[in-house]
Amino acid sequence: MAPMFIGLLMFSTATLLVIVTATSLIIFQKRLTGLAEGAALWSAQQGLPADNYFGQLPEDAGLDLVLSDIEVSDGKTVTVQVCGRWQAPISISITPSNLMVCSHASARAG
């Protein structure tokens, strides 16, 4: 009975750690999406590059942001792609611990 309990405990712990890591990654990606959407809307409304929007963020945001792509296709649509480095809260061998995550947003002025 004890080996079954130990096996169940190890399986439950591994499952919990994978869930925590996946949740952290999803929250980080949603946060990047919010920043990309904010930058695209701000850039479309102000008519300025999205770099200026990220210059207004506090330095302690801790996201290690990289503005990968800004393109204006028709003069009214602004497309912004923001990438950031995600670190796993708990590093285990079955999940990635350091990823570059990107998010994409578009806004139209007018």
Sheet holding 65-72, edge to edge: 65-72, 77-87, 98-108
φ, ψ dihedrals at 34, nearest 5°: -60, -40
Structural domain that includes position 16: 2-108
pLDDT score for 12 = 96
- How many structural domains are present in the chain? 1
pLDDT in tens, the chain (110 residues): 999 999 999 999 999 998 999 999 999 999 999 999 998 898 888 888 888 887 777 765 566 788 765 666 677 888 899 998 898 888 877 778 788 999 999 898 87
How many CB atoms are located within 10 Å of the residue 98 CB? Answer: 9
The whole model's pTM is what?
0.82
pLDDT score for 73 = 66
Q: Output the six-digit token pair for 32.
A: 């990047």
